[in-house]
Each structure stands twice: as C-alpha cells, then as structure tokens.
Structure 1
Amino acid sequence: MVPQAEVTLDEFEVMDAAAPESLYVELIDGRLLITPTPDGDHGECLRSVADQVRARHFALHLYQARGLAVPARRAGRARVDGAVAPVGYFRGQPSWSDPSGVLLVAEVTSGREQDAEVDRVDKRDAYAQAGLPIYLLVDRHRGEVVVHWDPEGGRYRHKSEAVFGAKLALPEPFDFDLDTTELA
C-alpha cells in the first residue's frame, strides 16, 4: 500500500478510473491508498466469515470488494473487503455505494505487514466516522480477529478480540460466536 499526499475527490475519480484491475485505489481521510488485489488466503478468510453469517442470517450477504462512499472528515471512497448487508441491497447502486444499509464491514490484512496499520487505524477510524455499525478486522499478522462496534463521535465505543482458533462474540444484530479456526 502506498499512501499519497492529500487528493480531492475529483482527482481520486480520475486515478481510480485509470487504475488497472490489479490495483485497488481508495481515498481514506483525504489520502490516496493503492494496494494490490488480495491473495487467495485473503479470500478464504472472507468466505469463512460469509458462510457463518449466511448460516445464521439468511437475509444477509457478505459482498466482497464493494466500493463504499465513506464520508469521514473529508469525502472518502473505500473498497471494503467485505460488506454485510441485506440481500439485494446493492442492486441499482453506483460503483461507490451508499453505506447506510451496511451492517458490518470486514477487512483482512494484506500479505504485507507494512500495510496492516491502514486497516488497524485509518480504515477503522474512517468507518467509525461514517457511522458504520460494526467493523470486523481479520489481522493475519497478529493472528487475531478484532470487532469494533457502536460508533459515536467518530470512534467505536466497544472492542473485542480473539486469537485465531478462539470464538469471537459478534454484537447485535448478528449475536453469534464467530468461529475463527479457519482464519489461521
């Protein structure tokens, strides 16, 4: 991930349109972030979370690599690894969708340790500022899963974590223990 100097939304849209499919381009708190597309292990982590959500909540789906308009202190655009929303929520939405119906955003740290801080701090803060109810982070470098919830005043008020292999209680509306065994 290459953090860049502050850019405007118009500048971002030009860069996003010109980016090859092998790169994700995001605008988080005024900074342009460029990352390579995820590896296979990344996708398997999301599949495990998606399967567990769907098994308990048939009306919800985890949409992968969804673009969300994330208004934090500045206009932002995040390509979230996973967005849990009601089935059909994104039908008819633009590339950078309204996040108001998203119940949970999930991120999985990339294969490079130096990129993980963006998921741990920058994206966490942007999602809280945007009022996204739950942020789930699968941190492959630390071997843990962290859930943040109940945003208020631009910060999540609650946090819980579990090492890979343990269960992690997800808050309402999910209200089940996420099995993290397959995330290791």
Structure 2
Amino acid sequence: MAMPLPASDEASPVERPDFEVATAQETFELFSAQAPKGWRVELIEGEIYVVPPADGEHEEIVSELSGQVRDHDRGLGRYTGIGLSLPGTSDPVRVIPDLAIAPKGSFGDAQDWHAPDAVLLVAEVTSASTASRDRGLKIRAYARAGIPVYLLIDREADEAVVCSEPHGDDYTHKSLHKLGAEVPLPAPLGFTLDTAAF
C-alpha cells in the first residue's frame, strides 16, 4: 500500500540542540536510496509516497500500451521506470510514471531524475494505493510541467481519461472513454488506442 509520509514541517523534532530537521527533499532522497527493488518513491506537493510493485493486471495494461505505441511509431521510446523532475508549488516534484513516451534517446544519460521537456505523453494505470493521486495530484503535476498528453487508465472506474492542452495546474481538454473502446490520442501522438485488450 502506498503511504504518504508527512513533510518535515509536520514532524516533531527530537529536543536536542544538535538535531537538524531533514527537509522533505532530503527525506525523499534517503527513502529513494533505501527502497527495495521494484518499489517506487515519489515526492508530490511536499508528501512522500512509497509505492509497492504493481500487480500483473496493471503490468499487462502498461505492456499493451507500450506495444501499441511501438506499433504506431518505432521512433518513440517507451519508458517504464524513468524518474521525472517536475516543477512544484514550492519543492520540485519527483515522479516515476507507469509509462512515459518520448523520442528515442531522450534519456540517454546517467541521471536519476530528468526534466520533462521531451515527454510527449505520460500514462498512469490506477491501483488501489495510487488511484486518488493519479486522478488529482498527478494531473496537476503533469499539467504544470507542460506535458502535452496525460492518459489515465482508471481500472476502478473502468475508463480511460485523455487529458490534453495543459494550462496552469490542469488540462483544458479531457475526454472519457469506457475501457474496451477505441480511444483517440491527440497530437503529438495522433493515433487511436485500442483498449479492448485492457
């Protein structure tokens, strides 16, 4: 289960003169370094979230999405573990989307966290532990970063939500589609996603 950890300003520091309260960023870096393989640690709006590995159904959907993007345009990279550093309201946001689409070679360096400039689409597939963030906090974070398309596969609601035209903290265009339908993805992708396999 993903659990938010309070930012440092909400914690009660030990009463010691040599004690320094760690910032949310420092705590996030510590958790990231210690996370077991397959676990994701994200920092969104001052809260740290530790997310366990996804279930098989979740990964099948991500795999199908990735395959359809590959079939549409082999010049696009499909990244399933890339760390993105996004602008936040006060601190930077650190997220690892389920799938990020960008031109091949966009992340060919040794950095752990990347600017979102090359990203054309991010996709999140909801899990019980992540659904509320995927539907709210991440929409704001991805829109603020100017990512052209955010695709939310909402398993609980049985729908795909396509968010496009980012402006400020939101997307100005959102379309809802029942899973199983064909879902048009706007530019810069510009193809129809078949969600029947989802």
Q: What's the TM-score bracket when you normalise by the shorter of the two chains? A: over 0.9
Contact 1:16 1:25 in 2 (8 A): yes
1:123-138 to structure 2, matched below 5 A, reads 123-138=138-153
1:75 maps to 92
SS in 2 for 1:100: coil
Contact 2:120 2:189 in 1 (8 A): no
The answer to which structure has the higher strand fraction is: 1
SS in 2 for 1:123: helix
Q: Distance in 2 between matches of 1:36 and 1:11?
A: 18
Gaps of 5+ in 1: none
2:12 maps to none
Q: Distance in 1 between matches of 2:130 and 2:28?
A: 20
Give a deviation string over 1:129-149, Cα, whole Å, max 9, x none: 111111111111111111101
One-letter amino acid of the structure 2 residue matched with residue 45 of structure 1: I
Q: Following superposition, which runs of at least 4 residues in structure 1 exceed 4 angstroms of deviation?
A: none
Gaps of 5+ in 2: 9-23
Output the TM-score relative to the length of structure 1. 0.93
1:16 maps to 32
Q: How many aligned positions are there?
A: 181
Q: Distance in 2 between matches of 1:173 and 1:2?
A: 34
Output the TM-score relative to the length of structure 2. 0.87
1:118 matched to 2:133? The reply is yes
Given candidates 120, 125, 129, the residue that maps to 1:108 is 125
SS in 2 for 1:107: strand
Shift of 1:82: 0.5
1:19-30 to structure 2, matched below 5 A, reads 19-30=35-46
Larger Rg: 2
One-letter amino acid of the structure 2 residue matched with residue 102 of structure 1: V
Give a deviation string over 1:122-165, Cα, whole Å, max 9, x none: 11111111111111111111111111011112211110111111
2:188 maps to 173
Q: Distance in 1 between matches of 2:68 and 2:41?
A: 29
1:142 matched to 2:143? The reply is no
Given candidates 80, 100, 113, the residue that maps to 1:96 is 113
Q: Distance in 2 between matches of 1:99 and 1:167?
A: 27
CA-based RMSD of the aligned residues comes to 1.3
Q: Work out the percentage of aligned pairs sharing the same amino acid.
A: 41
